[in-house]
Structure 1
């Protein structure tokens, strides 16, 4: 068990490195644009290119892991991520940096899902909740910590350091991974579904490109809607292909299991909110309150404190009130905090903002821990690799689209009702996203996930 915990913490560290790198670059966009004499809109491609490369190649991870072994793929991915981080810092032109960011995204696309399956593949249901709790914290901490850390590094040192900080962490991960991770069983002779991969890669690219384009202003709304429509149609063809193919890229049949299915549908709404709230709150405090990036970032850290503060108690809460009541409690916290932010003004006492941020972090931490505890609980071991790939696809698409979606909602609301009302509507929108999960929770059996709980 001790080695399992050590391995889970190691995988969490690699997930943190990926998720931090996906968002921390945002803080350095103005400095990078100035250094390479490009427009900030052009420099923002460093963010979108990483997210798209990550989403497009994630479906490959399951097939590669089965064929060559999950440990080998994870080691190569961490090594590639570390090297491209170093080369990003050494970039002598914007296009060299852009190429390195794409390569980073490719490495992350193999590292992220492989890290999860290394932990979850052999974990028995009774230990699922404990093991998944280790894997949740990077997703909760990275979006809250990235603006502060990025601002400090860029202000105190230079933009190069947002990449250089990955190098020692990557080296440590490689050294510990070689010792801790079991070799696994490589080479499952499974046909590569090239048609399915082409479909899902095209769908992911179009959906994320549509979101990124829409976030750039009203002039792009019409072409982004076209890309969105085409992407959704291709997505429908891909779903049909998965159901009909003899050897699909990954099996869709885990979706028949209720505990796994709800972790894909309702958790997607949570990922939208998890990715969007720290971003929206940062922009809100800077644009509407007129705060400096550092001061705004310090308040965002209280989301992180809420995440961490509730973490020692999440397993205890779930075991004592069970999953269904846990979901109700978590959704209530998220709903109340989002609606609370909608009512804040520049005259609102700082302690109110802190309380709302803490409750928002607690709700996200508790709900994501519960979802991940349920996710693989009723799946057979041989189904977990396909289920893990599907989970990685849906969560990354939801996270990538979250910021774009809230940017569009905020821009349209502000255009119609003014800046103040625009932010108010945006926070209300994030709260309303919780209504669907609450309704679906009411339909769950009271004893769902009992096999993951201590008797």
Structure 2
């Protein structure tokens, strides 16, 4: 295996993962500069993830049709153009449109990068290649909040996007020199109708929920858009049952492990997606911290997630998917409730300790649920399962941001006045309940589910 190949992919993955978290600590500063409220700027977070949810399902087909190397380099260019446009945006519409363009590039970079590795790496070396690729996925969320806070506090929020340019150029040059030309497999015809319906469903639901209470738009706009999204989703379900090769294969849900993992992860990711929106705002607007101080506090959760990667295989082997996932889900829900008791006078060491433990539980959950989803998937269904899982992942994160913002707005509506720490306390309590819902699908999971992947041996199997 040529280690240069996964490292090139890692550059793109690091850039994308960092950018998805770096904006959180800069939200109040960007909102003030664009003359909008910080909650209104949730559109910048949700729009990016909606773009990912829309275009990830067609990334594999695009790579087969136009060549993986060509698509990967084009995706970097699109991401960089979107980054520059974000930096020079002067109003909310320009900023949101630029974030959508960034999301289009990001949707192609990561899945196409994984496809390149799968097609250029021997199976015996695949674990090593994926390990190299996983490191930036963990370091990106760690570096994002403190880096974004530092640049916003001591320079300008514009630099959190401009910093992508040199990183992306390095990745672009390395990809041109070192990535091999891959013989493309002849793709089947794209399910264009399915793509259109999925795009309408993902964007309609997430965008509609985000704009329901925006002061710039009448509430009817959000309700109508959300309704269009749900109707498009229902229409797609009917469409997928009638065509031979739908964009997203719904028959995958007949696989118990995939169905349980996807449904449980959807609720858990919604709760997790709310965190990077709520916590920086509470620390800055409620506690009076600057963006850099806020980023230095929130990044500790990613540090806890990184530690999990070293012990997760042994834990899942010892206790199995069902026990560990239920424990992680309950632990994350309980710790999220404790966020409702944070005050400006709470010692930072206490906040850091709770956020660190929260990162541990979240990482255990995601590590397990991602493996469980593919535990019983056949090889010929792997690409479809990846597309389905990725789409649900990005849509649920985006819905989490929209859901958290709606809770804040409702709390402010009933209590009156500007945002206070009490409003964030209410939001975190509701988000904790959402995290708790993720436990229920797991209760029906067999104790030996995914044992071939986790290595867990039940007492019955041992006998």
Deviates most, 421-430 or 91-100: 91-100
- 2:260 corresponds, among 259, 262, 274, to 262
Question: What is the TM-score with the length of structure 1 in the denominator?
Answer: 0.85
For 1:108 and 1:170, locate their aligned partners in 2 and report how far apart those are by CA, in whole Å: 12
The size of the alignment, in residue pairs, is 450
For 2:217 and 2:81, locate their aligned partners in 1 and report how far apart those are by CA, in whole Å: 38
- Deviations 1:181-209 (Å, cap 9, x if unpaired)? 66544142411222111111111221121
Asked if residue 404 in structure 1 is aligned to residue 402 in structure 2, the reply is yes
- Deviations 1:283-337 (Å, cap 9, x if unpaired)? 2222332333322222112212211222211222222222122212311321221
Match of 1:337 in 2: 335
SS in 1 for 2:367: helix
Match of 2:443 in 1: 442
SS in 2 for 1:388: helix
Deviation at 1:13, TM superposition (A): 3.9
Match of 2:429 in 1: 428
The residue correspondences of 1:8-27 to structure 2 (distance < 5 A) are 10-25=8-23, 27=25
- 1:322 corresponds, among 313, 320, 343, to 320
- 1:296 corresponds, among 283, 294, 305, to 294
For 2:350 and 2:81, locate their aligned partners in 1 and report how far apart those are by CA, in whole Å: 43
For 2:111 and 2:221, locate their aligned partners in 1 and report how far apart those are by CA, in whole Å: 32
Match of 1:156 in 2: 154
For 1:6 and 1:273, locate their aligned partners in 2 and report how far apart those are by CA, in whole Å: 36
Match of 1:167 in 2: 165
For 1:164 and 1:123, locate their aligned partners in 2 and report how far apart those are by CA, in whole Å: 33
Deviation at 1:388, TM superposition (A): 1.5
Match of 1:208 in 2: 206
Change (3 A) 1:86 1:210: closer
Change (3 A) 1:295 1:87: closer
Match of 1:373 in 2: 371
Deviation at 1:178, TM superposition (A): 5.3
Question: What is the TM-score with the length of structure 2 in the denominator?
Answer: 0.84
Deviation at 1:180, TM superposition (A): 6.5
8 A Cα contact 1:331 1:367, kept in partner: yes
SS in 2 for 1:434: helix
Deviation at 1:361, TM superposition (A): 0.6
Deviation at 1:236, TM superposition (A): 1.0
8 A Cα contact 2:86 2:98, kept in partner: yes
8 A Cα contact 2:407 2:427, kept in partner: yes
Change (3 A) 1:9 1:338: farther
For 1:96 and 1:420, locate their aligned partners in 2 and report how far apart those are by CA, in whole Å: 31
8 A Cα contact 1:140 1:307, kept in partner: yes
For 1:391 and 1:314, locate their aligned partners in 2 and report how far apart those are by CA, in whole Å: 21
Change (3 A) 1:47 1:360: closer
Change (3 A) 1:410 1:218: farther
8 A Cα contact 1:307 1:364, kept in partner: yes
**Structure 1: segments with no counterpart, 5+ residues:** none
Deviation at 1:444, TM superposition (A): 1.0
Change (3 A) 1:161 1:362: same
For 2:32 and 2:408, locate their aligned partners in 1 and report how far apart those are by CA, in whole Å: 27
For 2:58 and 2:346, locate their aligned partners in 1 and report how far apart those are by CA, in whole Å: 48
- Deviations 1:154-188 (Å, cap 9, x if unpaired)? 33233342222212322343455457766544142
For 1:337 and 1:245, locate their aligned partners in 2 and report how far apart those are by CA, in whole Å: 45
For 2:243 and 2:66, locate their aligned partners in 1 and report how far apart those are by CA, in whole Å: 23
Match of 1:55 in 2: 53
- Deviations 1:331-358 (Å, cap 9, x if unpaired)? 1321221111122333333222111101
Change (3 A) 1:451 1:117: farther
**Structure 2: segments with no counterpart, 5+ residues:** 457-463
Match of 2:386 in 1: 388
User: Aligned-residue CA RMSD in angstroms?
Assistant: 3.5
8 A Cα contact 1:70 1:118, kept in partner: yes
For 1:142 and 1:215, locate their aligned partners in 2 and report how far apart those are by CA, in whole Å: 32
8 A Cα contact 1:117 1:388, kept in partner: no
- Deviations 1:34-72 (Å, cap 9, x if unpaired)? 77xx53369776555444433333332132123234343
Change (3 A) 1:372 1:421: same
- 1:39 corresponds, among 35, 42, 45, to 35
Deviation at 1:405, TM superposition (A): 0.7
For 1:396 and 1:262, locate their aligned partners in 2 and report how far apart those are by CA, in whole Å: 18
Change (3 A) 1:239 1:319: same
